[in-house]
Amino acid sequence: MESQNLSPVVKDYLQNLLKGNRSNCSAIARQYLEKNPSIKDLYEEVFKVSLYEVGRFWETNQITVATEHLATAITEGILNELFEQIISGRKYNKKVVVACVEGEQHQVGIKMVADVFEMKGWESFFLGTGIPTSELVKFIHEIKPDILAVSLSVYFNFANLLKMLELLRNEFPDLQIIVGGQAFSRASDQALQRLGNVVLLSDLYLLEKYIETINTNL
């Protein structure tokens, strides 16, 4: 397995992920934060890059699905370890529901999105994977969020996303929807145009700016 143009810390984290060594991965994350106390940077520059590599290895049959799942589980466990550090002291009266497209099996990316909203003082409702669109609709009626954030990791599920968006637009015409995930790096301009009136954010830095724009207007 070859990975090019990766930083030393990503190579170290990735190597330990593939070995299934959670304690080493956790230590690498803590050491990174000691040098650069930005959880957002850790998420974007280490976790995201590493998991994209893991996904690429799996898609090219260089690792088993078990190894891919283990790497994902380890990273999600570390996200949970860091949760206390992301809570913002300043709170805004804003709510976001974060979920994956129906059929998706990867929720680490959308968990990072939920955490960034929490860092910025929002109340996030993290639903993860396995939520049928019909149940998501019921939950949105109950919670009445200001924003819905949706993750798409596998491009194979793009058709499911389009069906989901159509249903949500009919049910909640005024709800702001943001989308992101690894799958969008493979989507053509024509496919992206089919998304309609949604906000596509390719990384956590753009997400942060998007949230800050909303917060400053409150």
- Of 29, 50, 85, which marks where a domain is finished? 85
Q: Are residues 120 and 181 in the same domain?
A: yes
**198 phi and psi angles, rounded to 5 deg:** -125, 165
pLDDT in tens, 90-107: 889 999 999 999 988 889
Residue 106 belongs to what domain range? 87-216
pLDDT in tens, 52-104: 999 889 989 999 999 999 999 999 999 999 988 888 788 899 999 999 999 88
Q: What is the pLDDT of residue 174?
A: 94
Q: What is the pLDDT of residue 2?
A: 64
Q: Are residues 42 and 141 in the same domain?
A: no
Q: What is the pLDDT of residue 155?
A: 86
Mean local confidence (pLDDT), 174-193: 89
Number of structural domains the chain divides into: 2
160: CATH: 3.40.50.280
Q: Are residues 192 and 137 in the same domain?
A: yes
Q: Are residues 100 and 158 in the same domain?
A: yes
Bridge partners (DSSP) listed for residue 95: 123
Using 50, 70 and 90 to split pLDDT, how confident is the model at 3? low
* Contact in structure between 204 and 43 (CB atoms under 8 Å): yes
**96 phi and psi angles, rounded to 5 deg:** -130, 140
9: Cβ–Cβ under 8 A, 6 or more apart, which residues? 28, 32, 46
Q: Are residues 183 and 135 in the same domain?
A: yes
Cα-atom radius of gyration of the chain, to the nearest Å?
A: 17
- Name the residue with tokens 């280490």: 46
Q: Are residues 105 and 189 in the same domain?
A: yes
Q: What is the pLDDT of residue 186?
A: 83
- Of 36, 60, 85, which marks where a domain is finished? 85
Q: What is the pLDDT of residue 130?
A: 86
Q: Are residues 111 and 149 in the same domain?
A: yes
Mean local confidence (pLDDT), 137-164: 94
Q: What is the pLDDT of residue 1?
A: 66
- Of 85, 115, 147, which marks where a domain is finished? 85
Bridge partners (DSSP) listed for residue 100: 151
Distance of alpha carbon 28 from alpha carbon 13, whole angstroms: 7
**pLDDT of 154 over the 90 cut:** no
